[in-house]
Amino acid sequence: DAGITQSPRYKITETGRQVTLMCHQTWSHSYMFWYRQDLGHGLRLIYYSAAADITDKGEVPDGYVVSRSKTENFPLTLESATRSQTSVYFCASSQGSDTQYFGPGTRLTVL
Amino acid sequence: EDQVTQSPEALRLQEGESSSLNCSYTVSGLRGLFWYRQDPGKGPEFLFTLYSAGEEKEKERLKATLTKKESFLHITAPKPEDSATYLCAVPPNSGNTGKLIFGQGTTLQVKP
């Protein structure tokens, strides 16, 4: 199906482990975004990308790494997961300063 | 500082009881105001984009309006299926980055 997908949908990991969350979009949108959503904080931007091989930090980038070798994929890696990174992660894509379309989210629990 | 504030945080309505949600913003040179609906356990779903003061858009029981400092999402005769969190967002002043600043959202509960 066309659209934006995220995998896995649910993930439980342990403190200190590396975790990669995947995001794939089929619209060939230039921009892609990673957010985390926590109670009391709303949606907070972690990283974004304006095009393949162009990424930049958002509001809360510490502890996260991104890459974008292909336009359609934008993986988010937690190099050494911490309990404070327990959250729901959303990927989104857009074509410039236009509507962002969101994926279904990944619920990550760090024990 | 660019900011988006939504009120109220939570709203409980009886089915059929119309009301409005507010989204106020401080960015200058508005380049669009976006409304989203988010159901529990799902990603935000796009509803409307408004670009200029006086603009209105409608979808079923929802109507979004825009002034120079705020937007309203009017819900007419709501039904239980309208229960969700409604988010608004605006692009920041800092150039064309594609980014959006989101408000904290208003959680609407419509009781039958």
Give the pLDDT score at B34. 96
Is the predicted pLDDT of residue A6 greater than 60, yes or no? yes
Amino acid found at A107: R
The pLDDT assigned to A18 comes to 98
Q: What's the confidence (pLDDT) of residue B30?
A: 83
- The arithmetic mean of pLDDT across residues A54-71, rounded, is 96
Give the full edge-to-edge strand order of the sheet including A76-78: A4-7, A19-25, A76-78, A64-66
The answer to whether residue B104 scores a pLDDT higher than 80 is yes
Grouping H, G, I as helix, E, B as strand and the rest as coil, residue A29 is coil
**Residues of A whose CB is below 8 A from B47:** none
**Residue A9 Cα, gap to closest chain B Cα (Å):** 10
Instruction: Of B60, B82, B73, give the one whose Cα is nearest residue B103.
Output: B73
d(CA A11, CA A25): 21
Size of interface A-B (CB pairs under 8 A): 53
* Of the partner residues B31, B97, B103, the one whose CB lies closest to the CB of residue A42: B103
* Strands A76-78, A64-66: pairing kind: antiparallel
Longest dimension (CA), chain A: 38
Average pLDDT over residues B71-88: 97
The pLDDT mean for chain B works out to 94
| Reported confidence tier of residue A2, pLDDT bands at 50, 70, 90 | low
Q: What are the backbone angles phi and psi of residue B78, rounded to the nearest 5°?
A: -65, 155
Instruction: Average the pLDDT over A36-58 and give the result.
Output: 93
Q: DSSP 3-state assignment of B85?
A: strand
Strands A64-66 and B19-25: unpaired
Question: What backbone torsions phi and psi does residue B81 show, to the nearest 5 degrees?
Answer: -70, -10
Write out the two tokens for A38: 């926590």
- Determine contact, residues A68/A57, Cβ cutoff 8 Å: no
Q: Give B-chain residues touching A58 at CB under 8 angstroms.
A: 99
Q: What is the mean pLDDT of residues A28-39?
A: 95
Q: Which of A97, A101, A106 to mutate to test the interface with B (most CBs of B within 10 A)?
A: A97
DSSP secondary structure letters along A45-80: EEEEEEETTEEEE-S--TTEEE--SSTTB--EEESS
Counting residues of chain A whose pLDDT is more than 90, the rounded percentage is: 91
**Given CB atoms, is B72 within the 8 Å cutoff of chain A?**
no
- Best residue of A5, A38, A48, A100 to probe chain B, by most B CBs closer than 10 Å: A100
Model confidence at B96: pLDDT above 80: no
Given the structure tokens 């958002």, which residue do they identify?
Answer: A58
Ranking A31-40, B27-36, B83-92 by mean pLDDT, the lowest is B27-36
- State the nearest Cα–Cα gap between A26 and chain B, in angstroms: 17
Q: Provide the chain A residues 5-44 that lie in CB contact (below 8 A) with chain B.
A: 30-31, 33, 42-43
Question: pLDDT tens across A76-105, in order?
Answer: 999 999 999 999 999 999 997 679 999 999
Structure tokens at B104: 């904290």
DSSP-based three-state secondary structure for B104: coil
Asked if the Cβ–Cβ distance from B43 to A105 is below 8 Å, we say: yes
Do A50 and B102 count as a contact with CB atoms less than 8 A apart? no
User: Mean per-residue pLDDT for B55-74?
Assistant: 96
